[in-house]
A and B are shown apart, each in its own frame.
Chain A
Amino acid sequence: MKDKIEEIEKNALQELDNCSNLKSLEDLRVKYLGKKGELTALLKMMGTLSKEERPVIGSLVNKVRDELEDIITSKEKELKKKEIAEKLESEKIDVTLPSSKIRRGSKHPINRVIEEVEDLFVSMGYDVVSGPELETDEYCFERLNLPKGHPARDMQDSFYITTEYLLRTQTSAVQARAMMDNKEKSPIRIIVPGKTYRREDDATHSHQFNQVEGLVIDKNITFADLKGTLEVFMKHMLGENTKLRFRPSYFPFTEPSYEVDVSCFKCGGKGCNLCKQTGWIELLGSGMVHPNVLRVNGYDPDKYTGFAFGTGLDRLAMFKYGITDMRLLYANDVRFLEQFDRKDI
């Protein structure tokens, strides 16, 4: 009996070794452990054994059966794993094929700069306002201390529609609107980004361009406040190491007036092609709001002072992204636009 058991075990183990799929494994289980299996048959023969042999043989059969069951189960696991692996292997794809997606959009570099400027000034408590592009002579010029006959409002320089209407030459037109619209004549803190138009077109001037205007009116506003504000503005846009140079200048709507140069960000002020070897790049116009402008728009210049500044956003965008030709900004070549498709750093 004992020999028989050992032989069964030996045969079963040998067959197990050769077993290579789940089907033959199941057959094997049935063959040895099934209801009509060889081991089961042995157990059924227990009655024929002596009282003394029974427990010995019994436990031996059980031991072999448990052993075989364990081995079959683990073999089964192994084979299942193998089978799944084979199946998955057969489903293999080429992960390097192109993805399915829609095309990626992009934000125009000028609008990127506009948003950056807006976010900065909103964080400093400024309101962002807009005004008409088709502006009246009154708001574009007259209310800004540019009387009739002033060179800057000549037909030569502006796109007039009628003698009264023109395409605004400067976002400053919104200064007058903001002051006039403020019925309480309370303090003002605004910036105005937007399109402007001038009657010139060459390699460095587009007849349409973008400006941002800033206007602050309050009690005790000084030139020092203007200087501090523009320092924050330019350092934010062009880097912490940026230096500013204020040069006295002339604009009809401010007095005193200043042009503002920034230290060349390409060469750091040593002199290069970008700054024409001067180390400085002219970037902003600014000044203290002219008392005539305050007065004509309803603010008492004896009580209020203010500052205003303006800068070209096209140039700022060109500097920021290293765009060398201004015409690219308006040509809208898809190969150009698509480069502005990611997060700014």
Chain B
Amino acid sequence: MKLSTNFLKDYLDINIDTKEDIYNLAENMTKIGNEYDFQGKLINATKLIIGEVVECENHPDSDHLHVCRVDIGNEVLQIVCGAPNVRKGLKVIVALPGAKLPGGEIKRSVIRGQESNGMLCSIAELGIENKFLKEEDKAGIHELPEDANIGDDPISYMGMNDGVIDFELTANRGDLLSILGMAYEVGSIYNKKVKPMDLSYKEKGKLDFKLNIVTENCSLFLAKKVENVVIKESPDNIKERLIASGIRPINNVVDISNYVMLETGQPLHFYDADKLEGMLEVRMAKEGEKLTTLDKQERTLGADDIVISDGNRAIGLAGVMGGYDTEITENTKNIIIEAAIFDSVKIRRTSNKILRSEASNRFEKGLDPNRTYMAIERSCHMLEKYADATIISGMEVYDKTKKEDKKIDIKKEDINSLLGSNISDTEIIDIFERLAFKVEKDKDILHVLVPTRRMDISIKEDLIEEVGRIYGVDNIQGRLKEMPIKKGTFDSTLREIRNKMINLGLNETLTYSLVEEKEANMFTNKKMEDIKILAPLTEERSYLRQSLITSLYKTYEYNVSRDNKDVCLFEIGKTFFKDKEEYKEENKVACLMSGEYYLGLNYKNVDFYVIKGVCEEILDYLGYNLRYSFIMDKEKMPEEMHPGKSALISVNNDVVGIIGRITPEICKDEVYVMEINLDKLLAKKVGKMKYKELSKFPVVKKDLAVLVKKDIQAQDLIKTIKNNGGKLLLDTKVFDLYDGKGIKEGDKSIAFSLTFGAQDRTLVDEEINSCIDKIIKGLENKHGATLRK
């Protein structure tokens, strides 16, 4: 809402003139909850003066320039001017040397040999936006009327010495989308009463017009007729207020409908009465019904749009824009004025779909029915005064609204106990009176009458907010309430996993949950249903991801394309899927690793065993040591993974994630990924960390190498070793793998380092050898292993 301070002064007796006044007003409004985007003068130009062209000769060295002598009262200046309309005897706006205009500073100069001491200005050069300009304003310098007084300030003379504050209002303050609403609000700050509006006019004749309201989405509809209007240009002060408010002046009648909307907040529509059939109907549009709006656009409507009809066809899109067929033209004589209230939700949906307008903006936020009546009367007053209209007696009224002030009871304690303040009854009553709310004090209870214009106020707390904001938030001292001392709690597990991943050399990322359709179920076994966004912003973000790896792989590609070669990323986040009509989300940790991991001269690139190390570090850290295994299962592996270089991560024999290389079909570079479902993993309980007695006796290390078929996995051999090694076998490690020279084709040699020991004694050779024999037997029987000698 652009507030013109001149407009405001029509209803409030305040001095808002200087730049400083305007700034202070804007800041004071901000303090009570009304933010602004812009504040300043309508015209930002200095050193302007009214002058008269007393001589005008063609420039000797130019075919379009003129050399003028301009009388500015106390002296006559020579000024070179290029405007086609400059001529002797013209009253003009002169920018003196040193004048600051929106386009720059004016300096004394010599133009093609002729001295020029200033500039003759057009309206555009004063900073008025192009859309507000008339053709003649665009073509040349501004021509002031004959009666303009040489030496005076042209801005004041034109009535353009105005201030503008562009407010960004909150959604609940529809009442401030009007000069009257603004006047009440500003009045509460400066403690000034709002001046009454002139609603007087004479009536004659008798209205012969019908209404037919057939939808519940219209709660109030008023129609009044005026006749014999004279269409012409509006007077300067009306045009200026419209321009300052951001509305383009058109003609006196159209301008009045906008002017009254600005004053009252009630949008109006004027129909050319002679183009109607003597009636107006309000109904819902038919699906696919067509209507050409004022802007000559053909709109296709739906059953959720409210329309005004003349009984046959739609002639207006209710609350949004009127129809082209019945608009006011230069030839219009008789007018039907419409002032109505339509359902705000319906209007918002329609305007979001079709177009937003000054009117729809006001309907969406809700309107005060008392203002609807006021707007009709104000229009009649203005049309009589500025368009020579004859007002026809009587009005067609359809009214389902309540128009009584709301009564809310409140006590001082209610206010102070919510605000933490100490405001007295006198101060509270003063605040309500500043807001022009009627208050009656009955012992300790205040009966407050809230006017209908304040639709945002309905409960006690709303009144407390009013008191708080007018009293001044800065006047309430902040405190920290003493609360029972307790320890705040939070689950640090995710944070610990994050820190562990960071310590393992990975960069944490934060990626988008929304991905494109084909990515949604990548890196999953495709068993769960995707979740699609009903109205996505872009195809790229239209589905919820089922796997974090998808996002990490995208991030990898992004980085590689920027020459970031060594990419090791992780993310802790959620993934989503649909399972049997139920929407599920899961917490996961995932990582992607590629390129150099071990740095230095002996650098090493990431391979399967590096990422496996990261995975084991996480699982061991979380306490799952000895409880997990890596299972190769082509059937269950996502097709995006290399079948020979990936595995399922199983904890307590339950699959909690995947690990391995992305298939070269997707990425020819070696990129390894891992994902663990944290909800599943962390649900598996682990025991407390507990000290285990150190043995006082030495351990014995023995190496053991066996020959086995190549496809036998180390994990299985270790299992067999452990099963046969008994209690004395403390640790088993693979330390060598060999399938080169001397080993039969299809076989491999795998060597283990075994550690034996006991808590209570030093082991003797016999014991150890018997263990090893058992282990070898086990390996022979289970895996066909032979001892490598």
List residues of A whose CB falls within 8 A of some B CB: 97-108, 110-111, 115, 118, 121-129, 132-134, 149, 151-152, 154-156, 159-162, 165, 167, 187, 189, 195, 197, 199-201, 207-208, 210, 218, 220-232, 245-250, 255-259, 288, 290-291, 305, 329-335, 337-338
Contacts and interface: CB of A to CB of B under 8 A. Distances in A.
B498 A159 contact: no
Contacts of B509: 108, 332, 337
B476 A227 contact: yes
B498 to A, nearest CB: 7
B511 A332 contact: yes
Contacts of B172: 250
Which of B465, B499, B510, B558 is the most central at the interface, judged by chain A CB atoms within 10 Å of its CB?
B510
B568 interface: yes
B600 A99 contact: yes
B420 A223 contact: yes
Contact of A107 (B498, B583, B585): B498
A72 to B, nearest CB: 44
Contacts of A208: 512-514
Contact of B564 (A210, A222, A334): A334
B418 A161 contact: no
A247 B36 CA distance: 12
Contacts of A105: 501-508, 568, 570
Nearest to A200: B537
B420 A100 contact: no
Contact of A162 (B345, B491, B501, B534): B534
B689 interface: no
Nearest to B613: A102
A223 B184 CA distance: 26
B668 interface: no
Contacts of B214: none
Across the A-B interface, give the 10 residue pairs with the lowest CB-CB distance, nearest first.
Answer: A224-B420, A222-B420, A248-B33, A256-B465, A128-B490, A227-B478, A122-B488, A105-B502, A250-B170, A228-B478
B683 interface: no
A225 B486 contact: no
A13 to B, nearest CB: 52
Contacts of B573: 195
A245 B27 CA distance: 12
B486 A125 contact: yes
A159 B536 CA distance: 7
B533 A160 contact: yes
B327 interface: no
B511 A330 contact: yes
Contacts of B156: none
19 contacts: A100-B600, A115-B495, A134-B583, A156-B352, A159-B533, A208-B514, A223-B418, A224-B419, A228-B478, A248-B468, A250-B33, A288-B461, A329-B510, A331-B558, A332-B510, A332-B558, A334-B564, A334-B567, A338-B507
A255 to B, nearest CB: 4
Nearest to B593: A103
Nearest to A160: B534
A132 B511 CA distance: 17
Contacts of A332: 507, 509-511, 555, 558-559, 569
A108 B571 CA distance: 9
B541 interface: yes
Nearest to B468: A256
B615 to A, nearest CB: 15
B489 A127 contact: yes
A165 B597 CA distance: 43
B479 A228 contact: yes
Interface string B309-335: 000000000000000000000000000
Which of A129, A152, A227, A245 is the most central at the interface, judged by chain B CB atoms within 10 Å of its CB?
A227
Given A105-B568, A255-B459, A290-B461, 6 more contacts: A189-B483, A197-B513, A201-B537, A220-B417, A245-B474, A337-B509
Interface of B: 30-33, 35, 170-173, 344-345, 348, 352, 364, 417-421, 456, 459-462, 464-465, 468-469, 473-474, 476-481, 483-491, 495, 498-499, 501-514, 531-538, 541, 544, 555, 558-559, 562, 564, 566-570, 573-574, 576, 583, 585, 596-602
Contact of B478 (A123, A224, A288, A329): A224
B585 A155 contact: no
A207 to B, nearest CB: 6
B35 A255 contact: no
Contact of A125 (B478, B488, B499, B504): B488
Nearest to A99: B600
B532 A161 contact: yes
Contact of B507 (A161, A207, A232, A337): A337
A104 B600 CA distance: 13
A109 B748 CA distance: 48
A283 to B, nearest CB: 14
B488 A123 contact: yes
A103 B486 contact: no
B464 A247 contact: no
B417 A134 contact: no
Contacts of B477: 224, 227
Nearest to A335: B564
Contact of B601 (A97, A199, A255, A290): A97
A258 B464 CA distance: 13
A248 B352 contact: no
A246 B473 contact: yes
A36 B409 CA distance: 126
Contacts of A149: 344-345
Contacts of B570: 105
Nearest to A230: B478
A187 B570 CA distance: 38
Contacts of A160: 533-535
A256 B512 contact: no
A200 B468 CA distance: 33
Given A102-B504, A151-B171, A247 B567 contact: no
A293 B459 CA distance: 13
A151 B419 contact: no
Nearest to B551: A332
Contacts of A99: 599-600
Which of A156, A246, A256 is the most central at the interface, judged by chain B CB atoms within 10 Å of its CB?
A256
A223 B490 contact: no
A127 B31 CA distance: 33
Nearest to B552: A332
B510 A330 contact: yes
A330 B512 contact: yes
B514 A159 contact: yes
A224 B479 contact: yes
Contacts of A126: 488
A297 to B, nearest CB: 16
B31 A247 contact: yes
Contact of B476 (A224, A334, A337): A224
Nearest to B464: A256
B478 to A, nearest CB: 3
B512 A125 contact: no
A281 to B, nearest CB: 13
A154 B349 CA distance: 9
A334 B557 CA distance: 11
Contacts of B510: 108, 110-111, 210, 329-330, 332
A305 B465 contact: no
A231 B481 CA distance: 13
B489 A128 contact: yes
A333 to B, nearest CB: 6
A222 B490 contact: no
Contacts of A162: 534
Contacts of B478: 224-231
A341 to B, nearest CB: 8
B364 A101 contact: no
A271 to B, nearest CB: 12
B406 to A, nearest CB: 15
Contacts of A227: 420, 473, 476-479
